Amino acid sequence: MRLLIVSTSSIHGKPYLTYLEDEVKSFFQGKKILFVPYARPGGISWDEYTAKASERFTEWGFEMTGIHTHEDPIKALAEADGVFTGGGNTFVLVKTLYDLGLMKPLKEAVENGLPYMGSSAGSNLTGLTVRTTNDMPIVYPPSFDALGLVPFNINPHYLDPDPSSTHMGETRETRINEFHHFNDQPVIGIREGSWLRREGDQLELKGPHTARLFRKGSAAIEREQGDWSDLL
């Protein structure tokens, strides 16, 4: 299985996806990429979102089409060299995939070797469930189960507590610890600008930041970039 699990599509001060150029080029190599626009950031349409992603991927020499433009999306998955699920609202993304009957075909295609890249909501989708998303539950999906392409959950846009904050809402770490009162799997908090790359049985943390690993019953720990294959 080949996965690129990205915390954020944009880092502060840089245009959409540009910081990932080298990684994306080395990951996909092939030319035909299917874009999954269903997370609709800011509520934009599938067409608008596909146009935004395509602009960058075309500039990099890839062909890209939106999965929604294909009469038979399952056939389109079979014919693509890669799939990229963009960020936005995780609940909207998951509900749409379930409603269109695409969750299972997408999982099978990736398990059978189709390279999968996700950012933010698209990264949540690679985990066991989407129960560690940061998003607002603006629609009700038929399940919180995700693709389960890795045996843990993702928390993208991971944010450290701000010691100067007077806000009383829960910190990210508190939220994930609450998750572990009701769920068993590890959670990896990936900071903006970093990503995981899976190649078969190898898992690597890449980018400028360490990542935070939460396991039920233990204190969270920071782990360095490099080999994380023990999590698989």
List the catalytic residue out of 120, 123, 194, 209.
120
Task: Please name every residue paired with 130 in a beta bridge, in sequence order, or none if there are none.
Answer: none
Active site residue 160: no
Residue 134 or 210 with smaller CB distance to a copy of itself: 134
Interaction between residue 18 and a copy of itself (CB under 8 A): no
Q: How far is CA 68 from the centre of its chain?
A: 19
Phi/psi of residue 223, each to 5°? -130, 145
Q: Assess 183 for contact with a copy of itself (CB under 8 A).
A: yes
3-state DSSP assignment of residue 188 = strand
Alpha-helix residue ranges (DSSP H) falling in the chain: 21-28, 46-59, 73-79, 90-99, 103-111, 121-124, 172-179
Which region, judged by CB under 8 A, interacts with a copy of itself, from 77-85, 89-97, 110-118, 199-207?
89-97
Q: Which stretch binds a copy of itself (CB under 8 A): 36-44, 77-85, 96-104, 194-202?
A: 36-44
Active site residue 135: yes
Would you call 199 helix, strand, or coil by DSSP?
strand
Q: Taking CB under 8 A as the rule, does residue 164 contact a copy of itself? A: no
Q: Of 61 and 219, which has the nearer Cβ to a copy of itself? A: 219
Q: Which one of the spans 25-33, 57-65, 66-74, 135-143 is the region binding a copy of itself (CB under 8 A)? A: 135-143
Among 113, 166, 217, 226, binds a copy of itself (CB under 8 A): 166
**Residue type present at position 120:** S
95, HSE (Cβ side, Cα atoms, 13 Å): 12
Per CB under 8 A, the list member of 3, 4, 5, 8 interacting with a copy of itself is 8
Near a copy of itself in 38-57, by CB under 8 A: 40-43
Q: Is 157 a catalytic residue?
A: yes
Nearest 5°: phi and psi at 32? Answer: -105, 110
Q: What is the DSSP string of 116-141?
A: EEEETHHHHTTSSBSTT--S---S--
Least Å distance between CB 78 and a copy of itself? 31
Whether residue 132 contacts residue 138, with contact meaning beta carbons closer than 8 Å, is answered with: no
For the annotated catalytic residues, the residue numbers are 120, 135, 157
Binding site for a copy of itself (CB under 8 A): 8, 10-13, 40-43, 89, 91-92, 130-140, 143-144, 157, 159, 166-170, 174-183, 192
